[in-house]
């Protein structure tokens, strides 16, 4: 325990929140004397190495995780900041069962850190060093992680909206908003197959599974809204199409499969009820394909901007 904190994640966050301002301060002062050959030599001897948690080689390399060395203080700053954002996300998951509001805030804070890395830190590092780097040290991967965090924050917003009895039409749009966010993340990952050829299949399946799950939930709410509007035939068509699609995307991970089975069973039960009512009461035609309405998404969650802190201290460099 450190400072009375029982959560390992919270302890690690506290350490990083103390380390990051020191590192920012060090980089600021080193930049002031960066032309000095002693400083250049000192930095070249740092041997700053990081491994990648997102790389498939991290899972199957019998000699241990592959290390990526870039002797640049901004590389250390970027990877430490990435770790900080990842721990914010981990903490958000940790407190999710007990504090929805704070969990959503932490997801948004993590998204803000990832966005800062995308826009400020890694672009300059990428232009200065063209060598091999971990997936985490690329601007596009930070964008992917930011989108994932925003999707997770919106999922919490939906839970709060469901508790308040929000209309099914809005809930359908909010769930599909998550599908669109994760669709953007997927498009980034597949737009550069050379850069992401080594990305973990488990990570890809996580994004794909979450995207499919929220699409199904969106279509369930859409079908419910259509049924309330006396469009039972169209509602049946939406559910039939949704079930066909989602059954092709059931994940391999058993814990995820359990969630999928429940969602699929709930949608199948809804479909049976609608079909029985249509058979005995409405007798409506069941449309399909292009005749079905297209879901619309609504993205209402924004990242909380990240502003790095630097501890101002009087430092004297003796070179």
Give the mean pLDDT of 137-157: 97
Q: Are 122 and 137 in contact (CB under 8 A)?
A: yes
Cα gap 142→242, rounded to integer Å: 31
Instruction: Grade residue 64 by pLDDT with cuts at 50, 70 and 90.
Output: low
Nearest by Cα to 267 from 289, 298, 235, 296: 235
Residue 127 has a pLDDT of: 62
Percent of the chain with pLDDT over 90: 74
Residue 47 has a pLDDT of: 87
**pLDDT exceeds cutoff 60 at 68:** yes
Give the mean pLDDT of 142-146: 97
Cα gap 157→154, rounded to integer Å: 5
Instruction: Grade residue 255 by pLDDT with cuts at 50, 70 and 90.
Output: confident
Instruction: Grade residue 62 by pLDDT with cuts at 50, 70 and 90.
Output: very low
| Residues ≥6 apart with Cβ < 8 Å to 202 | 59, 253
Which part of the chain is CATH 1.25.40.280?
7-51+68-166
Instruction: Grade residue 5 by pLDDT with cuts at 50, 70 and 90.
Output: confident
CA neighbours within 13 Å on the CB side: how many for 218? 22
What topology is assigned to 7-51+68-166 in CATH? 1.25.40
Cα gap 183→196, rounded to integer Å: 16
């Amino acid at each position: 325990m450190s400072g009375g904190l029982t959560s390992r994640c919270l302890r690690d966050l506290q350490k990083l929140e103390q380390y990051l301002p020191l590192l920012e301060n060090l980089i600021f002062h080193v930049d002031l004397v960066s032309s000095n050959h002693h400083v250049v030599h000192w930095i070249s001897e740092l041997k700053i190495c990081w491994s990648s948690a997102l790389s498939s080689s991290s899972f199957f390399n019998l000699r241990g995780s592959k290390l990526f060395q870039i002797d640049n203080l901004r590389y250390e700053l970027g990877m430490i900041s990435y770790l900080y954002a990842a721990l914010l996300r981990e903490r958000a998951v940790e407190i999710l069962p007990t504090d929805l509001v704070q969990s959503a805030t932490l997801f948004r804070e993590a998204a803000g850190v990832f966005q800062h890395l995308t826009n400020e830190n890694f672009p300059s590092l990428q232009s200065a060093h063209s060598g091999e780097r971990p997936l985490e040290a690329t601007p596009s991967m930070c964008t992917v992680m930011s989108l994932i965090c925003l999707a997770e924050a919106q999922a919490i917003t939906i839970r709060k909206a469901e508790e308040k009895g929000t209309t099914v039409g809005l809930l359908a749009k909010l769930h599909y908003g998550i599908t669109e966010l994760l669709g953007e993340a997927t498009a980034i990952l597949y737009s550069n197959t050379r850069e992401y050829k080594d990305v973990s299949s488990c990570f890809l399946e996580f994004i794909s599974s979450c995207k499919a799950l929220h699409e199904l939930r969106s279509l369930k709410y859409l079908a419910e809204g259509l049924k309330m509007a006396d469009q039972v035939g169209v509602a049946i068509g939406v559910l039939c199409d949704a079930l066909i699609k989602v059954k092709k995307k059931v994940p391999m991970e058993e814990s995820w499969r359990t969630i999928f089975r429940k969602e699929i069973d709930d949608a199948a039960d809804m479909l049976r009820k609608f079909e029985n009512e249509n058979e005995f009461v409405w007798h409506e035609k069941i449309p399909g394909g292009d005749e079905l309405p297209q879901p619309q998404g609504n993205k209402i969650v924004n990242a909380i901007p990240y502003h790095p802190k630097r501890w101002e201290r009087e430092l004297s460099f003796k070179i």
